[in-house]
Structure 1
Amino acid sequence: MRNKLLVLLLLLTTFSFAQKTTFKIKYSEPLAVFIFLQNLSENYPENVFKTEFQKSKYNTDYYKNIISKFDKLTIDYSYRFEEFPYGSKKGVQTEDLLKKNLIETENINEFKLRSNGIIPNKTLSDLAQCISDFTPIYNELIYNPNKEKFEKQLEEIIKYSTEHQIENYFEMGLLFYNSNWDNAIPFNIAFYPLPNSKGFTAQAFCNNFISAIQTDLKSYKVLFSVMLHETFHIIYDEESLEVKTEIDSYFRESKSKYSNYAYQIMNEALATSLGNGYVFEQLDGKIDTQDWYNKKYINLIAKQIYPLVKEYIDQKKSIDKNFIDNYIKIYEVNFPNWINELDNIMTYRYVISENEKDFTTINQMFRYRSRTEYEDQITESSIEKMQKTPLTKVIIISKNNTEKLKLVKSKFPALKNWQFKADKEFAEKIFLEDKSQLIIVNQKNSTLETLFKLIK
């Protein structure tokens, strides 16, 4: 009966429109079990899935060994699209491809066939076995107790999506971003239940959006505005090389010293302004007066650029040089101090240190990060590699201080007249010609946290 219902739901959720992308909303059991296993890992914080498992009869050494085996599988490899401007296109993550295949296949054998070649065969076989072993456990502990509520929710979500023509916002995003999408490729949306929770999760990748929804969720406007926020990241990512190169040139050629950090935050700012701003307003009938994003910088810039974004949407215009110039100006006029605030500029960082513990410390000090690179050798080549990126550049020197400081000075023209005392601790911030900040930390005995407090 359950399988028949799911087939019926799948049929109901395929709504095609002429020349438009097809949206499919479904429940994916294999994906749900995969995420269930991830949440049972010792590396994951306490969560509702872990709570249900720990108090169940399955909390035994036998099943904990399966969880441990799953946890040790290496499934996340990646590669970049090197021809695109740095940071403008997300690299491929094999874990995303595996989740995509879990959603788009009907059983584990089909998943293995589809996923062959993405990760080593032994790893794939072990992963599939772990999912198979935990499928009945997931159903007993999570799905079946919430089945009635969840399947009713799924019907309501499908109805809401149809009534509000959610796919139109996808088309709007394609036009705004001047992006590309092959209409033969459907956009798959997979939901799964999240019991005893006050919120929902959201993630988008490839041609998929996935979300765990609380079983008492009643209002879907926030859910769909967040869903489209994440979807707009995909649309931005799918801009052509030509479009991305043009946008990159607009920022690079800008005379504003704020252009680099305005560029770094743009992807998140636009997705927030479009999804949490425009889409929410259309669904609710009025603009959301609460925060649109839980990070100050993104929330404030997204709201500030909203009139500009809305103007382009209303006029059915794509991002162009005029848009970028106005966007940079908004950043410059309204947030002139942001390029000096560590909480902002350390979101996009390239750190070189010969003490690997520093990377952990930096991550603890600046937990929110959008783009990061780490290098454990201070050499001419590592500095040159760093210089090719627009990220905030952090060099931490804790040994061979005189030699390393001389090397750093020789590699940055902005340091031509810079004077230092290698036997003294310091932390300094210098604005570079590429409009990024360079932070140099000379460490002797003080902690990294103490030295960072010296930065003005």
Structure 2
Amino acid sequence: MKNRFLLAFLFLTIFAFGQKTTFKIKYSEQLAVFVFLQNLSENYPDNVFKTEFQKSKYNTDKYKNVISKFEQLRIDYSYRFEEFPYGSKKTMQTEDILKKNLIETGNLGSFKIRSVGIIPNKTLIDLAESISEFTPIYNELIYNPNKEKFEKQLEEITKYSNEHQIENYFNTGLVFYNSSWDNAIPFEIAFYPLPNSKGFTAQAFCNNFISAIQTDLKSYKDLFSVMLHETYHIIYDEQSLEVKTQIDTYFKENKSKCSNYAYQLMNEVLATALGNGYVYGQLDGKMDTYDWYNKKYINLMAKQIYPLVKEYIDEKKPMDKNFIDNYIQAYEVNFPNWINELDNIMTYRYVISENEKDFDVINKMFRYRSRTQYEDQITETSIEKMQETPLTKVIIISKNNSQKLKLIKSKFMELKKWQFKADKEFAEKILLDDKSQLIVINQKESTIESLIKTIK
């Protein structure tokens, strides 16, 4: 799978053992207009939707005010599944549920009824009004000019899915991940046109997959390998509490110093090995010789572990302790220095700093991030909360340095013999017993960026 196509978000499908999978490929006008409005927001980068709007007759104060009002709506709340091992199950997002409801309802009235209680009623009403006002604009600028090509694509995509029995690859994932799904739940795929583009987008949630597809897309193996990649994230996410607890235990009991960071990487590595390796190879008749993912750690590890993944697929075996141990060993033998590379370990980070501007600096330095937490107080409580996670632990001290350094030393038993000079600037990295890295930055005059760059 060529990395230019890979935008990895979450995706869901359905498989029924011994029965035909329920696939519903469709166009959702409501969802398309919602995404259109998102792309018109001021904080979104330049894109084809924004370009078409800005050169149109609708680029007036009236409609700019609607966009601004839409942009300020708070629609994204979240909740965690606390009983699962940390990071093993995706946090639920209310925006995903709203998009699901846009896809699965035929009009905005039904959408509002189904969505009552998810977000405040006033916000829900304003959201529906924004979509209603921009529906004719979207149709005039985007959908109607591309309608003929797009509707033909929908027919071709449906035919491709049926002819290649895409649902069988979902079953492959269920067996490999030792997971399950209820065949009574339909799987709805919503596409919408993406004119003047060289790639497609992909996002998935709940029991829905959405994708903006370029109007001249011909290679559906690329599209479906990305779909299955995202499917495997969901299958992994839907493992039972028992299975996830077993996997978590296998990693924690493994003696390798690389086991924690191998664990953090695994979800994306396996989805890539299965979707962009196995599925693409099956659909194309040969393995993809290009990068499978546009992040080197994921790409290289997915290719490294692929023979073992393929062996388990061929033998219809679920991932087990033997698989986990071999996966960790492959990481340690082939990429032993990765646990010291900031571009890798800062993908999963917990940062404590009493200067909130430091968070922006770190976000700019390490843009790619999978799991992050931030805390603006250096206290016993905040450090203890940090210690409960397997993430890379970054503590930045810029005031009351001596006092805060003593606190940190007292909270980490690995720092019992640690010697520091509070009046000297430094940035040190220490591998903790939980096999996560602790980075302590003592700042005086230098910038955080320059201090981070001194870390060996």
**Structure 2 SS opposite 1:184:** coil
**Structure 1 SS opposite 2:82:** coil
Question: Which residue is 1:173 aligned to?
Answer: 173
Separation in 1, partners of 2:301, 2:107 = 44
Mapping of 1:85-104 within 5 angstroms?
85-104=85-104
Q: Which amino acid in structure 2 is aligned with residue 438 of structure 1?
A: L
Pair 59,380 (structure 1): closer, same or farther in 2 beyond 3 Å: same
Question: Which residue is 1:259 aligned to?
Answer: 259
Question: Which residue is 1:320 aligned to?
Answer: 320
Question: Which residue is 2:288 aligned to?
Answer: 288
**Structure 1 SS opposite 2:440:** strand
Separation in 2, partners of 1:411, 1:19 = 56
Separation in 2, partners of 1:168, 1:116 = 36
Q: Deviations over 1:240-264 (max 9, x none)?
A: 1000000000000001111000000
Offset of 1:212 from its aligned partner?
A: 0.4
Separation in 2, partners of 1:17, 1:415 = 53
Q: Deviations over 1:282-324 (max 9, x none)?
A: 0000000000000010000000000000000000011110110
Question: Which residue is 1:372 aligned to?
Answer: 372
Q: Deviations over 1:164-208 (max 9, x none)?
A: 001111111111111121110112111100000000001111111
Question: Which residue is 2:230 aligned to?
Answer: 230
Pair 305,45 (structure 1): closer, same or farther in 2 beyond 3 Å: same
**Structure 1 SS opposite 2:336:** coil
1:195 paired to 2:198: no
Separation in 2, partners of 1:186, 1:133 = 30
1:453 paired to 2:453: yes
Mapping of 1:433-444 within 5 angstroms?
433-444=433-444
Aligned residues of 2:391 and 2:436 also touching (Cα < 8 A)? yes
Mapping of 1:27-426 within 5 angstroms?
27-426=27-426
Separation in 2, partners of 1:18, 1:297 = 38
**Structure 2 SS opposite 1:199:** coil
Q: Which amino acid in structure 1 is aligned with residue 112 of structure 2?
A: K
**Structure 2 SS opposite 1:162:** helix
Q: Deviations over 1:2-47 (max 9, x none)?
A: xxxxxxxxxxxx9988435311111111000000000000000000
Separation in 2, partners of 1:22, 1:315 = 26
Question: Which residue is 1:4 aligned to?
Answer: none
**Structure 1 SS opposite 2:455:** coil
Offset of 1:142 from its aligned partner?
A: 0.2
Q: Which amino acid in structure 2 is aligned with residue 144 of structure 1?
A: N
**Structure 1 SS opposite 2:190:** strand
Give 5+ residue unaligned stretches, structure 1.
1-13
**Structure 2 SS opposite 1:149:** helix
Offset of 1:454 from its aligned partner?
A: 1.2
Q: Which amino acid in structure 1 is aligned with residue 401 of structure 2?
A: N
Aligned residues of 2:189 and 2:210 also touching (Cα < 8 A)? yes
Separation in 2, partners of 1:36, 1:105 = 18
**Structure 1 SS opposite 2:142:** helix
**Structure 2 SS opposite 1:242:** helix
Q: Which amino acid in structure 1 is aligned with residue 50 of structure 2?
A: K
Separation in 2, partners of 1:21, 1:121 = 36
Q: Deviations over 1:99-127 (max 9, x none)?
A: 01111111111111111110001100100
Q: Which amino acid in structure 1 is aligned with residue 159 of structure 2?
A: K
The root-mean-square deviation of aligned C-alpha atoms, in Å, is 1.1
**Structure 2 SS opposite 1:337:** helix
* Higher relative contact order, structure no. (Cα contacts within 8 Å, ≥ 6 residues apart): 2
Aligned residues of 1:351 and 1:375 also touching (Cα < 8 A)? yes
Separation in 1, partners of 2:167, 2:140 = 34
Question: Which residue is 1:19 aligned to?
Answer: 19
**Structure 1 SS opposite 2:450:** helix
Pair 220,380 (structure 1): closer, same or farther in 2 beyond 3 Å: same
Aligned residues of 2:16 and 2:182 also touching (Cα < 8 A)? no
Structure 1 runs (4+) greater than 6 angstroms displaced:
14-17
Q: How many residues align?
A: 443
Q: Which amino acid in structure 1 is aligned with residue 181 of structure 2?
A: W
Separation in 1, partners of 2:16, 2:452 = 55
Give 5+ residue unaligned stretches, structure 2.
1-13
Q: Which amino acid in structure 2 is aligned with residue 248 of structure 1?
A: D
Pair 258,16 (structure 1): closer, same or farther in 2 beyond 3 Å: closer
Separation in 2, partners of 1:20, 1:291 = 33
Q: Deviations over 1:115-163 (max 9, x none)?
A: 1110001100100010011011000000000000000011000000000
Offset of 1:231 from its aligned partner?
A: 1.1
Separation in 2, partners of 1:136, 1:24 = 25
Separation in 2, partners of 1:415, 1:16 = 53
Question: Which residue is 2:7 aligned to?
Answer: none
Aligned residues of 1:188 and 1:207 also touching (Cα < 8 A)? yes
Offset of 1:66 from its aligned partner?
A: 0.4
Q: Deviations over 1:38-91 (max 9, x none)?
A: 000000000000000000111010001000000000000000000000000001
**Structure 1 SS opposite 2:24:** strand
Separation in 1, partners of 2:189, 2:435 = 39
Question: Which residue is 2:3 aligned to?
Answer: none
**Structure 2 SS opposite 1:42:** coil
Aligned residues of 1:20 and 1:171 also touching (Cα < 8 A)? no
